[in-house]
Structures are given as structure tokens and as C-alpha cells.
């Protein structure tokens, strides 16, 4: 399997380039528009054809590369059915399967960070977007976020996966690349709660400033920005 984890320094976003390596089809999860050329170079070097691109949710801290990549490669733009994006080609829902050559990815609806947040399960690993982070969870104080709903997504969906499942988030701010469900269950401070009320209490008292890019990124991601519009 080909699995490349790329990092955007400005927004601390992880982007994933995935292919079975058996067929030549590739898929990208959570691309950042400024890195479009880098992604295209990687695809070219590995002789891959980008056929699908997924955003886990409408991002508030960077502009997605979804639309530019689709313009350049004609790949299918995919998000969950709750998305407000006006440019998505394929809207998926809970339990839908996304396929490329020899790879199947299952969509799990995990709202709470936003109302359009999805996680994607692929064999031994899950891409958790901003729902489950390493030693953290995605904030729930804007974009129709809800700590109560996120608790349900975490405790009744993601954390029910086998403990050895690898966790690949959309961000990390401390240089960590991945984790496991077991490690997060045992060590993630946000998850050491006894009930939903305790979780809501933690999430409602984070007192975080809004992301710097928010007023630019959210509308750009809804409209589907391309590089010539930046
Ligand atoms: Fe986010």
C-alpha cells in the first residue's frame, strides 16, 4: 500500500495520499490548497491517478485543496451529505463505502466538531478528522458544533473500534503523527470522563480564540475556492 502523510505548517493539517499500489488509482483526504503542486508531483512520481478527494468536514483554519485538485485531475469531490459545500460531486452518508482500486473506506458519521464531520475507516486505521485528535478532540463551539453530539460520536462510535486501530487525525500541534484507539481511550485527557455532562463541561470551558483564517476559510470552502481566486 502507498500511504503518504503530509503536513501543512501553517494550519498544522495532515493530508493523506492513499493508493493500494496494485491499481494506479489514488485518493487524497483533507488536502490544503497551497500544497496542490506538491500533491500533483507526488502523484506523478508514484505514477498514480487521483480519482477521489475527500474532506472530513468544512475546515475553518485552511482552504481546502478539494476544488483545485478536481479542476486539475477531474477527480471526484466527496463529503458527507450534511456539508454546506456547493461544489461536492458525491455526498456520502453513514456506512457508505468509498472505493478505489483494491481499497475500501467506510464512512462513519461523527458530528460534534461540525455538523458535517465524518471519520473514515480503512482496514487497520481510521481518519478521524477533527473529531478525535491525539490527546485532544476538536472544538465544538462553532459551525453547528455540539459537545453533547461529539460525546456520542466518540464514545458510541469511534472508541468502540478495536483498541489497536490506528488513529490518523486531521491535525496535530505537537508533532505526533498517529495514535491508537487504545492509547486515546487510556491517555487522552478529554476522554477521561464518566458521563456526557462532564464532557460538555470540559468542552464549554476551553475558551479558545477563533481560528485566524475562519472568516476567509469557511466561505471559501463552502464556495469551493481555486488557486486563481486566492
Ligand atoms: Fe476543523
What distance in Å separates the CA atoms of residue 45 and residue 16, rounded to the nearest whole number?
16
pLDDT tens digits for 26-55?
999 999 999 999 999 999 999 999 999 999
The pLDDT assigned to 230 comes to: 87
Give every residue of the chain whose pLDDT is below 70, as ranges: none
23 alpha carbon – ligand 1 mean position (Å):
31
The pLDDT assigned to 15 comes to: 98
The pTM for the full model equals: 0.97
The pLDDT assigned to 31 comes to: 98
161 alpha carbon – ligand 1 mean position (Å):
22
3 alpha carbon – ligand 1 mean position (Å):
22
Sorted by where each begins, the domain ranges of the chain are 2-210
114 alpha carbon – ligand 1 mean position (Å):
7
Q: What superfamily in CATH does domain 2-210 come from?
A: Ribonuclease Z/Hydroxyacylglutathione hydrolase-like (3.60.15.10)
Amino acid at each position: 500500500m502507498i500511504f503518504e502523510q503530509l503536513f501543512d505548517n501553517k494550519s498544522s493539517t495532515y493530508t493523506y495520499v492513499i493508493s493500494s499500489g496494485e491499481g494506479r488509482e489514488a485518493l487524497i483526504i483533507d488536502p490544503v490548497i497551497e500544497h496542490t503542486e506538491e500533491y500533483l508531483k507526488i502523484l506523478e512520481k508514484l505514477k498514480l491517478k487521483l480519482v477521489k478527494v475527500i474532506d472530513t468536514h468544512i475546515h475553518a483554519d485552511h482552504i481546502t485543496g478539494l476544488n483545485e485538485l478536481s479542476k486539475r485531475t477531474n477527480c471526484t469531490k466527496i463529503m458527507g451529505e450534511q456539508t454546506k459545500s456547493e461544489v461536492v460531486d458525491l455526498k456520502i452518508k453513514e456506512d457508505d463505502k468509498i472505493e478505489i482500486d483494491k481499497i475500501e473506506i467506510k464512512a462513519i458519521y461523527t458530528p460534534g466538531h461540525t455538523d458535517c464531520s465524518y471519520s473514515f475507516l480503512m482496514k487497520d486505521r481510521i481518519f478521524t478528522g477533527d473529531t478525535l485528535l491525539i490527546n485532544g478532540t476538536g472544538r465544538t463551539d462553532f459551525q453547528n458544533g455540539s459537545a453533547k453530539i461529539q460525546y456520542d460520536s466518540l464514545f458510541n462510535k469511534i472508541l468502540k473500534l478495536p483498541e489497536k486501530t490506528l488513529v490518523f487525525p486531521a491535525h496535530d500541534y505537537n508533532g505526533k503523527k498517529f495514535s491508537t484507539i487504545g492509547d486515546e481511550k487510556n491517555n487522552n485527557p478529554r476522554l477521561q470522563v464518566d458521563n456526557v455532562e462532564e464532557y460538555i463541561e470540559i468542552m464549554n470551558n476551553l475558551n479558545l480564540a477563533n481560528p485566524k483564517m475562519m472568516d476567509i476559510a469557511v466561505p471559501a470552502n463552502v464556495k469551493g475556492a481555486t488557486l486563481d481566486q486566492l
